[in-house]
Amino acid sequence: MSKILIIDDEVQIRKLLARMMELEGYEVCQAGDCKSAMKQLELQAPDVVLCDVFLPDGNGVDLVLSLKKASPHAEVILLTAHGNIPDGVQAIKNGAFDYITKGDDNNKIIPLISRAVEKARMNVRLEKLEKKVGQMYSFDSILGESKALQEAVLLAKKVSVTDVPVLLTGETGTGKEVFAQAIHYNSKRSKQSFVAVNCSSFSKELLESEMFGHKAGSFTGALKDKKGLFEEADNGTIFLDEIGEMAFELQAKLLRILETGEYIKIGDTKPTRVNVRVIAATNRNLPEEIAAGRFREDLFYRLSVFQVLLPPLRERTGDIKILAEAFVRSFSEKLSRPQREMSAGFLAALNQQVWKGNIRELRNVIERSLIVCDGECLDVSDLPLEIQNSHYEHSDEAAPGSFELSTMERRHIVRVLEFTKGNKTEAARLLKIGLTTLYRKIEEYKLS
């Protein structure tokens, strides 16, 4: 049941308004002055406050500021016997939902209260959503206890409260976008847009249009003006993933934004100004790219004001169990399956893996294992075949059927295919068998 606080020094008016609200199904509390109103606000946490402008110990227009500060989600409606435009304007500026005149606007009160209650409920939902998003993208959501990871988190926390550009470096799959989101949502720009773009996903021409926008008629197919991602991210943060893949010609345009906050859209003649924080990420060695003439040195120094190196999973093996448990919980819920434990063998196999794809690869392996698992516990047999083979090769544990000739043959074919990176013609040559025979073996051993 929604709750209404009525503030008026005239007892009869308070009783009349309270009776009207109660007949509409609202719970009502009352106060006769500013001081008691603030106490009621704290005790009752109303959704809507109906407040007189002239009170014994203050003015309702000024009281709005205190009410909204103490209870931001509550909506305040001011009532006055003698309305005037300046008071009404100031009331709205102070955060009032509306400002109406007593008597003349009595027929408006009930529908107005209804709209204010709905707005207050929406405020609460939005507050909960913002809190949930904040928790989802907080630094606490970055899992791991290794020293290398904690050092990276500490650096990211320190830079998040500033506005300087950040360059995230590290191998593919180490969680650079997760770090970028944590930096944004823990910055003063957290309530503004976070826009992510993968620079390797577009051609030079398309990336320029996506990032900076264009004017209608600037090229074939440009039928109307288009806002670029920098404009969408104005006052917020833009995350440029795989920055090392950006075309050399576009790097000059990005440099200008970092230096002046301005750029020119395709087909435009005047600059567009934006206030955007840039977080960039790369798995390339940018100094080597500079030496090779593929990356601008001046852009590198502008982007790398603050660098954070994200460690690969092989340097934080102690975190594999923590990450795996989190992925099991997450995917069990997503796949609507009971949460399963992980056997000692399963965990041992995960710890033995090199994880060239890092956290992303581990995440995919856990999801696949949960899908194929038929038992009550995740076991080695639920892992991809190449991880199973690697596990049995590096442990004293005998694989099921490991003494059978077919098992040895199958394992050898898998090893050769891994060596040739899936090139079946080369694998057949190394195995000294015909290509047709190799395809038959692949089908027989279900290696495709």
319: which 2 tokens? 């975190």
Per-residue pLDDT tens over the stretch 102-114: 765 566 788 888 9
- Residue pair 243/280 in contact by the 8 Å Cβ criterion: yes
- Residue pair 194/307 in contact by the 8 Å Cβ criterion: no
Buried b (16+ CB within 10 A) or exposed e, 51-89: bbbebeeebbbebbeebbeebebbbbbbbbeebeeebbe
pLDDT of residue 161: 94
- The H or E element containing residue 99 is strand 98-101
Buried b (16+ CB within 10 A) or exposed e, 324-342: bbebbeebeeeeeeeebeb
pLDDT of residue 285: 94
Task: Provide the 8-state DSSP code for 214.
Answer: B
- Residue pair 416/430 in contact by the 8 Å Cβ criterion: yes
Global pTM reads 0.67
191/153 Cα distance (integer angstroms): 21
Count other C-beta atoms under 10 Å from residue 194's C-beta: 21
Closest CA relative to residue 98, chosen from 83, 88, 110: 88
- Residue pair 376/387 in contact by the 8 Å Cβ criterion: no
Low-confidence ranges of the chain (pLDDT < 50): 398-399, 401-403
249/211 Cα distance (integer angstroms): 13
pLDDT of residue 298: 95
pLDDT of residue 135: 61
pLDDT of residue 123: 85
103/93 Cα distance (integer angstroms): 24
pLDDT of residue 384: 85
pLDDT of residue 346: 92
Distances in Å between the Cα of 370 and the Cα atoms of 41, 336, 387 are 50, 11, 15
Query: How large is the greatest C-alpha to C-alpha distance in the chain, in angstroms?
Result: 102
Closest CA relative to residue 344, chosen from 395, 281, 287: 395
* Start-end of H helices in 161-306: 176-185, 204-212, 229-232, 248-260, 286-291, 297-303
- The H or E element containing residue 412 is helix 405-419
Structural domains of the chain in order of their starting residue, each with its CATH number? 3-133 (3.40.50.2300), 143-311 (3.40.50.300), 316-444 (1.10.8.60)
401/407 Cα distance (integer angstroms): 6
pLDDT of residue 279: 97
- The H or E element containing residue 307 is strand 306-309
Closest CA relative to residue 170, chosen from 151, 191, 188, 186: 151
Q: From start to end of 109-169, where are the E strands?
A: 166-169
290/362 Cα distance (integer angstroms): 32
pLDDT of residue 105: 57
